Amino acid sequence: MTTITVRDVVRLALPDGTTVVAGATNLGRQVSWIATLRATLPAFAELRGGELALLSVAAAQALDPRLTLDVLVRRLAQAPVPIAGVVALGTITPSDVQAAEEARLPLLQLPDSADLREVEREIKRLITDYEAQFERRAAQLYDLLTQCSLQGGGIGGLLDLLHERTGQSVACYAPNGVLRAQRGRGQARLALQALRPTARGEITLLNQQIWVEPIGNQNVPTGYVAIAGPTLDRWDQTAVQRGALALALELAKEQAVQAAEERLRGDFIASILVGTSGDLAAAIQRGQELGYTLNMPHTALLVHIDAASVATLGRAAANIQSELKRLNVNAPISRRESSVLCMIPTVSIARTRELAEQLRERLLPDHPHLVIAMGTPVAHLSEWRRSLEEAEQALSLGRQLFGNDRVLAFADLGVYRLLIRLRETPELWSFYRETLASLAEYDARQHADLIKTLEAYFNHLGNLRATSEALYIHRNTLLYRLERIKEISGMDLDNAEEYFALWLAIRVHRILATLNDG
């Protein structure tokens, strides 16, 4: 037979609104049966130990005016065999609480609407058929959770219910493990704040036991829910599993709303990027209706994921929207092929870059191949396209120059910013043919590294020792290669103008390479 404790009775048998007013540290006491107030004195007879005393304060007073709750508590505590606790309906005074605390006896106060006969039946069901009562209460909890969601309680309302029904701290997390909301107190609350869940299972953190349950599909969850406390039991785990089911419905509703909003926001950006001046006037009005602040500069932020599927891009867009909301940034976003475009209201370039770094840090655990690129701030909606083009250029060229391990900003491209705008002009191609084309053709034909050698030479400011070490070649080999560069290109590195021309041509070489990439 399953051992029943006072804590089990509180969570699995007593009605909503029952409070533990005293003896909270002794809720682990074992409950053997229920003892009810008799119609005649003595109030409780033939106690065998472990009973839970159930009474109405008013009925006890009617039986004997001297039989106050504190007197009853002291008498029950002094009985030859210890009882498990007292469940009372009616007013409980400070002296009643003091008596229970001194006796180390759990004192539970029922809500005024409670029916003592129904309470008695529920406790007896729990004691005689624990499994059936457990499943019945679990089903009731799920019904309450779904009703809460349908009535618009939101994530906070669902967590409130879980917290009330378990007495433990609970929290909900985004798919990337970022905390979204929590309910609780003490060390368990701190443990949930420090937690960053990635999978289902049990964790110990800050001396707290934590159980994590994924929300929705376990392979691609829409989030996580966790419960924490000094110790967890089967009911805690069952409650959080039911909570995960209800939260899946809540998040599905949330995602449907977000998808509709995203379409509106995406259409809003598209109307600006392709619109005429007349369209822009309408877009400004529409943007104000959507809650955007359009009378300040904006910067294009491009969140790119290589070969992203529609589902992956959808999760990324949801994560971005969630993170921007957490950072209190109201920015229109729009899905594009393999990327999500955000137009960020810009107070300063430094603040926008910081925000981009925060986004990158938050999103990388879920999207390890993510790259973020940003344009420069533009003052008017008609210039949004230019900022987007700059972000695209920063993505294309920045990955070659700086790799993927940082936010790629158009402002960091230096001289490349000028060359990008010239890359499809005949003048740039003519300059390239006159300076570096012969070296590029030689490298391709002979599988040589003359352009790589020249680039290293420029990167080390003409220092032969540093250049040879960077290339892992002997100094004499380097001198031979530099002589070959002079012979093939017809350009003299000792001539200042020709030195600069080759330095610039190396950068043109990179720019022209992006034409193929694009």
> Is the whole model's pTM more than 0.85, yes or no?
no
pLDDT of residue 277: 47
Count of beta carbons in the 10 Å neighbourhood of residue 75: 15
Chain segment 67-76, per-residue pLDDT in tens:
999 999 999 9
pLDDT of residue 266: 57
Domain 132-251 has CATH 1.10.357.10: no
Please list the residue range(s) of the chain that carry CATH number 1.10.10.2840.
420-517
Q: For the chain, what is the total number of helices (H) and then of strands (E)?
A: 20, 15
DSSP classification of residue 30: B
| Residue 410, token pair as written in the block | 């158009």
Please give the order of strands across the beta sheet that includes 33-36.
Answer: 19-22, 107-110, 85-89, 51-56, 33-36
Chain segment 78-131, per-residue pLDDT in tens:
888 889 999 999 999 999 999 999 999 999 999 999 999 999 999 999 999 999
Residues in the chain where the model's pLDDT stays below 50: 277, 518
Residue with tokens 């921007």: 324
The third-level CATH classification (topology) of the domain covering 420-517 is Arc Repressor Mutant, subunit A (1.10.10)
pLDDT of residue 80: 86
Please list the residue range(s) of the chain that carry CATH number 3.40.1390.20.
6-128
pLDDT of residue 518: 45
pLDDT of residue 515: 56
Please list the residue range(s) of the chain that carry CATH number 3.30.70.270.
291-413
Specify whether the CB–CB gap between 201 and 187 falls below 8 A. Answer: no
Nearest to 215 by CA among 153, 271, 145: 145
Please list the residue range(s) of the chain that carry CATH number 3.30.450.40.
132-251
Q: What is the CATH number of domain 291-413?
A: 3.30.70.270
Give the gyration radius of the chain's Cα atoms.
Answer: 35
Nearest to 420 by CA among 518, 511, 513: 511
Residue range 6-128 forms a domain whose CATH class is alpha beta
Specify whether the CB–CB gap between 507 and 420 falls below 8 A. Answer: no
Task: Provide the residue type at 345 as one letter.
Answer: P
CA separation (Å) from 91 to 57, 62, 95, 110, 514? 7, 14, 11, 10, 79
